[in-house]
Structure 1
Amino acid sequence: MVTLADVARHAGVSASTVSYVLSGKRSISAATRERIQRSIEQLGYRPHAGARALASSRTNILALMMPLRTDIYVPVLMEIAMAVTTTARAHGYDVLLLTGEEGPEAIRRVEGSALADAIIVTDVELDDPRLPYLKAAERPAVLIGLPADTSGLSCVDLDFEAAGALCVDHLATLGHRQIAVLGEPPAVYARGTGYAERTLRGLRTAAAEHTVGLLHRPTDGGHAAVAATVTRVFEERPATTALVVQNEAAIEPLLTVLRRDGRAVPEDVSVFAVCAGQAAAQASVPLTSIGVPAQEMGRRAVERLFAHLRAQEPPGTVLLAPEVDDRGSTGPAPTAAPAR
């Protein structure tokens, strides 16, 4: 392994001079700096992360807090992680992935050590227990998600409330008067997860404005759970002509149940999804949807972090506007809901 001393000998300077060039703490002549840089490149020297942190007070590492739970759709998280990693690398940074459900303890660990220069937080709850620690931390942080109180925080997310309203606007325009929502698993709502609660708020607000009946039923993603939920929906609201699904794991079971029951999409029932675009596009019936722009969210979060590290941008919220991808799974409401 090439060391700093090796670089110094190759360049014909002292080790301290090499250290000053790396840290930028002292002015070194252009000729000497260029000679040291050539030696670094020729020898393939890479500063040790710990030594680099001591020299510059920077680790060139971002911490990405991404709890991996059984009730979340992992592909979306992986898209976010890939976008965060590639954007960070473009800035010369690496990413430390924290996947445990440690909550505030993980923030204390990052804050109390030289693990990372800044933090990106996902799976944000409305009353997230991590928020007081993030606000008190010296290291900048960006949330991919929106809590109830965003004061003093930087957040990036899809405008899920607008997405929920857009679903109802789209369906109401097609003449649907009774809409049912197959939501995320019950545990997601029990945690007060921001995106799910905000989508529901948008759905309910728009339904009231359009005088549309709205029934919300959380569901696990397995076939039996979805079948039971769909049966219950049509028993409670037989006039239902449109379904909104915000649960990637429930999409295929839902379409299977509708086929089993002889309900054609969209002739008998329209289906609109709020989910990863790939999940909607690759379903057995391609679904009209509002996609979750995971890559854009990850990229924007990193760019905001670097703006904070350079003290160029105050805290604030960036909400990405929802867009409808019409794949033909929604259509005019039938004159009467089919009897089953």
Structure 2
Amino acid sequence: MRHKRKWEPLVVKITDVARHAGVSPSTVSYVLSGKRSISFETRERVLASIAVLGYRPHAGARALASSRSNVLALMLPLRTGIHVPVVMQIAVAAVTAARRYDHDVLLLTQEEGVDGLRRVADSALVDALIVMDVQMRDPRLPLLRELGRPSVLIGFPADADDLTCIDLDFTAAGAACADHLAGLGHRSVALIGSPPEVYERQTGYAQRVADGFRTAVRRHGMTGEVYPCESSADAARALVARLLAERPELTGVLVHNEPIMEPVIRAFRTAGRSVPGDLSVVAICPDEMAEHTDPPLSSVAIPAEEVGRRSVELLMSKLGGEDVPAATLLPPRLTPRGSDR
């Protein structure tokens, strides 16, 4: 005897409504909750999709969504090539800022890829997310765009549409350093950059510094190349030896690799090139690091504390239903000291 197949009712999810209406799941949530101002046209489109699909929010899910954990997730994967002191400055500033809003911070330092991001976002542990170490084509971005939880990226991917991002304008920083060296009359320059794996991952800040540097070098008619370097004294000495062998006319260097700033200067001195007498050196690093080298380095500051604080402020505004700028680029500030001529 043939048994009739029992058909289960189709369950329509908020992501189905979002896809049908051509908006993000968070927009659907805002329309339902009224916690954020949504344009009339978008609201009507979402409501029409709800009616067509027969979406019915579950009462328990609505109650859970309306509750707050007062916890923010800070996703800070400690990958190889990252300069930990700088990222921890950002993290401490974020934690301090969150406490002013009566929020705690859940710090996630493992390699939190798409699966880890989904696990955290689907839990009731956190209200919102701050994502660091952003790559130009970051695999986490599609999921971040779909999540119903607010997020802020510290860093800029190649495609930042529908995302909220904040960082130092690293493209302008690289250009500002090359402009500075050009203004001092240098014609042959080099960027000693981040470790090779940072470029291989297409980490946003390193890629943007290199792009800004190259663009300015071409604009001034200088010769200049980008040289990735491992963050060790031995690697710094080997690269300096290579530079002097291949480019003896070199007179200007930008260092964007905090752990090797002093080893680079020592290696040039050991090879008979004084700083700043024979060679001008500038850096992109926190001010306190530039001030304590010998000689103190002219530098573009990395505003770690400001980035951490403002990322939390943006996130809290989003949680409050306020509109925030999609892109916050902090302008570079170059401070001349004693390392150039």
1:70 positional shift: 3.3
> When the two structures are superposed, what TM-score results if normalisation uses the length of structure 1?
0.80
Measured after TM superposition, the shift of residue 281 of structure 1 is: 1.4
- Return the offset for 1:211: 0.3
Q: Distance between the aligned counterparts of 1:150 and 1:315, measured in 2? A: 12
CA contact (8 A) 1:161 1:200 kept: yes
CA RMSD in angstroms comes to 1.3
Do the aligned residues in 1 keep the contact of 2:214 with 2:225 (CA within 8 Å)? no
Give the match's secondary structure for 1:220: coil
- The answer for unaligned runs of 5 or more in structure 2 is 1-62
Aligned: 1:288 with 2:332:
no
Pick one of 156, 160, 173 that aligns with 1:163: 173
Q: For 1:41-56, list aligned pairs within 5 A.
A: none
Question: 2:59: which partner in 1?
Answer: none
Task: Using the TM superposition, give the Cα deviation of residue 69 of structure 1 relative to its aligned residue in structure 2, in angstroms.
Answer: 2.4
Indicate the residue corresponding to 1:207 in structure 2: 217
Q: How far 1:314 moved relative to its partner?
A: 4.4
> Deviations along 1:255-278, whole A, 9 cap, x unmatched?
110121121111100000011222
1:221 counterpart = 2:228: no
Which residue of structure 2 lines up, in the alignment, with residue 28 of structure 1? none
Question: By how many angstroms is 1:220 displaced?
Answer: 0.6
Deviations 1:96-137 (A, max 9, x none): 000001211221011111010000000000000111111111
- Whichever residue aligns with residue 233 of structure 1, its letter is L
Partner secondary structure for residue 216 of structure 2: helix
Q: Which residue of 2 aligns with 1:112?
A: 122
| Letter aligned with residue 58 of structure 1 | R
The aligned counterpart of 1:194 is 204
Query: Quick one: which of 268, 273, 277 aligns to 1:258?
Result: 268
Deviation at 1:215, TM superposition (A): 1.6
Partner of 1:89: 99
Q: Could you say which residue in structure 2 is the equivalent of 1:74?
A: 84
Paired residue secondary structure (2:198): helix
In 1, the alpha carbon distance for the partners of 2:150 and 2:139 equals 17
C-alpha displacement of 1:181: 1.0
Q: Tell me, what secondary structure is at the counterpart of 1:274?
A: strand
Q: 1:177: Cα distance to partner?
A: 0.3
1:223-242 alignment to 2 at 5 Å?
223-242=233-252
- Corresponding position: 1:132 with 2:121: no
Deviations along 1:27-52, one digit per CA (max 9) or x if unpaired, are: xxxxxxxxxxxxxxxxxxxxxxxxxx
* Cα 1:152–1:142 shift into 2, 3 Å: same
Q: Distance in 2 between matches of 1:132 and 1:99?
A: 21
Q: Partners in 2 of 1:183 and 1:313 — Cα distance?
A: 36
Contact 2:129–2:151 (Cα < 8 Å) also in 1: yes
Structure 1 counterpart of 2:126, which letter? A
Q: Is the 8 A contact 1:181 1:216 kept in 2?
A: yes
Q: Which amino acid aligns with 2:154?
A: I
In structure 2, distance between residues paired with 1:221 and 1:232: 16
1:54 positional shift: 5.5
SS at match of 1:63: strand
Deviation of 1:234 (Å)? 1.7
Whichever residue aligns with residue 309 of structure 1, its letter is L
The equivalent of 2:281 in structure 1 is 271
Deviations 1:58-110 (A, max 9, x none): 10000000011231111111110111001100001000000001211221011
Residues 75 and 112, structure 2, Cα contact 8 Å, conserved in 1: no
Q: Specify the SS of the correspondent of 1:216.
A: strand
Q: Distance in 2 between matches of 1:104 and 1:207?
A: 38
Counterparts of 1:223 and 1:83, CA distance in 2: 30
Deviates more, 1:70-79 or 1:81-90: 70-79
Question: Contact between 1:118 and 1:139, CA under 8 Å: does it hold in 2?
Answer: yes
Instruction: Confirm or deny: 8 A CA contact 1:152 1:315 kept in the other structure.
Output: no
TM-score (norm 2): 0.80
- Measure the CA separation in 1 of the matches of 2:231 and 2:316: 38
Task: Tell me the distance in 1 between the aligned counterparts of 2:258 and 2:153.
Answer: 22
Long gaps (5+) in structure 1? 1-52, 332-340
Q: CA deviation at 1:327?
A: 1.2
Alignment of 1:19-58 (within 5 A): 57-58=67-68
1:122 aligned residue: 132
Contact 2:193–2:228 (8 Å) recurs in 1: yes
Deviation at 1:286, TM superposition (A): 1.1
The answer to whether residue 111 in structure 2 is matched with residue 101 in structure 1 is yes
After superposing on structure 2, the runs of 4+ consecutive aligned residues of structure 1 that deviate more than 6 Å are none
